Structure 1
Amino acid sequence: MLRLIVGRLCFIVLAGFLLLSFLFALFHMIPGDPAVLLAGDSATKEVVDSIRAAYGFDRPLHVQYVSYMSHVLVGDFGVSNYTRQPVLGIVLPRVLNTAQLATLAMLLAASISLVLGSLSAMFWGHPLDRVVTLSSLVGICTPVFVTGIAGIYLFGVWLEWLPIAGMGSWWNYILPVVTLGTYQAAIFTRMVRSCMIDALSKEFIVTARAKGVRERRIVYLHAMRNALLPIITLFGLGFGHTLGGSVVVESIFNWPGLGRLMVESVLTRDLPVIQAAIFFFAIIFITLNMLVDIIYTWADPRIRY
């Protein structure tokens, strides 16, 4: 296990290094002079030259690369072109806000899908199974922006039960978490149902029933444990997709998260903030995959790396 963790950490370091190199190259491949982008189209030549010298754009490319990497390694992602504040101070609070939203949405999605998927498998072919299957299909086909706008109109504007924007209190979490979580729950429910139907058809389940083991114990202890591997994989990938889907949800509910920050930075051409946001998105996704690999060994002791 220790070797696995050390190996995955080394992979995260290598992936982060390659990603930063790619972002640096991407920054310099954008058409136009970076100094002109910072100064604006109406800036004079003297202003552009001063910005080019201040940011080191007049130095050779390999010198800029070494300088960029050395600053990033100590946590210095530069200064925002738009607000003139340190990029790390802007991005880190947004990372935490997005992580809270995605974590709560995933907990909601996992809770709903494990219960409904198991019930659907237990009553396979019955009306309950058809209702769950149809509901999950409708949830998959409904985009998150439709669910979010419908929730705003119903619970925020018409009934006036919930706030529709911002991050002032725990009441602000309900609509974005439900919007993001129910979409993932619809996807997970179908997967859990499929895995549980397969597990419940195994011979050891037939033996357990013949011995008189209670159905609830058979489903949630024996069958669930044997169906966990593909479910864990789906949940791990789903967490990453939830982070990506948070871009739309954060924009709808004016949530101060990393996804909304990326949208704002693209509109203002704030390249240092875009670079840092992409970097943190990628590191979170890679870390989640490492945690999934570790959970594998808990779910199935036969797995060894």
Structure 2
Amino acid sequence: MPRLILSRLVFMVLAGFLLLSFLFALFHMIPGDPARLMAGDNAPEELVQSIRRAYGFDQPLHVQYLSYMQRVLMGDFGVSNYTRQPVLEVVLPRIGNTAALAGCAMLFAMTVSLILGSFSAMFWGGPVDKGVTAFSLVGICTPVFVTGIIGIYLFGVYLRWLPIGGMSSWQHFILPVLTLGAYQAAMFTRMVRSCMVDALGRDFITTARAKGAPERRVVFHHALRNALLPIITLFGLGVGHTLGGSVVTETIFNWPGLGRLMVDSILTRDLPVMQGAIFFFAMIFILVNLLVDILYTWADPRVSYD
């Protein structure tokens, strides 16, 4: 396990280095003068030239690259073109908001899918199984923004039960979490059902039933434990989908998270903030995949990374 964690941390460093290099190249390939963007369209040329000298935009490209990487290693991702704040001061508070939203959505999705998928497998071929399958198909075919708009109209406008924007109370979590988690719940439910149907047909399940084990213990202890490996794999992939979906969800519900910040930085051409948001998005995804690898060893002690 220590070797696994160490190798993943080394991979994070290499991935972060490559990502920062790509973002630096992308920054300089986008049309427009970064000094002019920072100064504003109506700024005098003298101010633009002073900004260019202050930020080293007049230096050769390789000198700018080395200077940029050196600043990043010191925790300096630049200054926002829009708010004039350091990028870390803009990005870091948003990470917790996105993590709270994505974490609650994944918890909701996993809880619903484990329950529905297990019951669907228990009553395979019956009305419960068909109903769960229909629910998952509808959920998979419905885009996140459609679910969000329906939720806003039904629960926020028509029934007036829930707020439709912000995050000042626990009630503000309900609609965004349901919107973001519904699609993942539908995907996970199909996967859990498939894995559980396969597990319930194994010989050790027949043996457990022959010994008189209660059906609930057979399903939720023996079968579910042996079906967890592919489910955990899907969980790791689902986090990436959830982070991607958070961009849409946060925009719809005016959620002050990393996804909305990324959209705002694109609309305002705030390139330093956009770079920082993309970088931390990628690091979160890599950390989650490290967690998935650790969960593998818990779910199946036969899996070893040493």
Same fold per superposition (TM over 0.5): yes
> Which residue of structure 2 aligns with residue 284 of structure 1?
284
| Cα offsets for 1:277-299 (capped at 9, x unmatched) | 00000000011111111111111
In the alignment, structure 2 segments of 5+ residues that lack a partner are: none
Specify the alignment match of 1:89 in structure 2.
89
**Residues 93-112 of structure 1 aligned to structure 2 (within 5 Å):** 93-112=93-112
Matched with 1:22 is: 22
Q: Which residue of 1 aligns with 2:42?
A: 42
> C-alpha displacement at 1:144, in angstroms?
1.3
Task: Give the TM-score normalised by the residue count of structure 2.
Answer: 0.97
Q: 1:31 deviation in Å? A: 2.2
**Structure 1, unaligned runs of 5 or more:** none
- 2:152–2:175 contact (8 Å) kept in structure 1: yes
Q: CA offsets per residue over residues 156-179 of structure 1, 9 Å max, x none?
A: 111111111011111100110111
Task: Show the 5 A alignment for 1:44-63.
Answer: 44-63=44-63
Aligned position for 1:183: 183
Give 1:238 deviation, angstroms.
0.6
Offset of residue 112 of structure 1: 0.2
AA aligned to 1:230 is P
Distance in 1, Cα, partners of 2:74 & 2:35: 24
Matched to 1:300, the amino acid is D
Q: CA deviation at 1:23?
A: 0.8
1:38 Cα offset (Å) = 2.4
Task: List per-residue Cα deviations over 1:50-98 (Å, max 9, x = no partner).
Answer: 1111111011222211211111112111110001011101101111100
* Structure 2 equivalent of residue 226 of structure 1: 226
* 2-structure distance, mates of 1:147, 1:21: 37
Matched residues in 1 for 2:107 and 2:33: separation? 46
* Structure 1 residue identity aligned to 2:300: D
The equivalent of 2:303 in structure 1 is 303
Pairing 1:123–2:123 present: yes
State the one-letter code of the partner of 2:42: S
1:154 partnered with 2:158: no
CA contact 2:140–2:186 (8 Å) conserved in 1: yes
2:110 aligns to what SS in structure 1?
helix
Deviations 1:126-183 (A, max 9, x none): 0000000001101111111111111111111111111110111111001101111111
Point out the more displaced range, 76-85 or 154-163. Answer: 154-163
Q: Report the AA paired with residue 5 of structure 1.
A: I
Given that 2:78 and 2:272 are in contact with CA atoms closer than 8 Å, whether structure 1 keeps it comes out as: yes
Structure 1: 4+ residue segments shifted above 6 A: none
**Distance in 2 (alpha carbons) for counterparts of 1:86 and 1:34:** 16
Query: Counterpart in 1 of 2:171?
Result: 171
Query: What TM-score do the two structures reach when normalised by structure 1?
Result: 0.98
- The answer for the alignment partner of 2:193 in structure 1 is 193
Task: Indicate the residue corresponding to 2:293 in structure 1.
Answer: 293
**Is 1:71 equivalent to 2:74 in the alignment?**
no
Q: Which residue of 1 aligns with 2:213?
A: 213
Question: Where in structure 2 are the equivalents of 1:138-149 lying within 5 Å?
Answer: 138-149=138-149
- Distance in 2, Cα, partners of 1:20 & 1:212: 59
Deviates more, 1:187-196 or 1:13-22: 13-22
Q: Percent identity?
A: 76
- Count of residue correspondences: 305
2:245 aligned with 1:245, yes or no?
A: yes
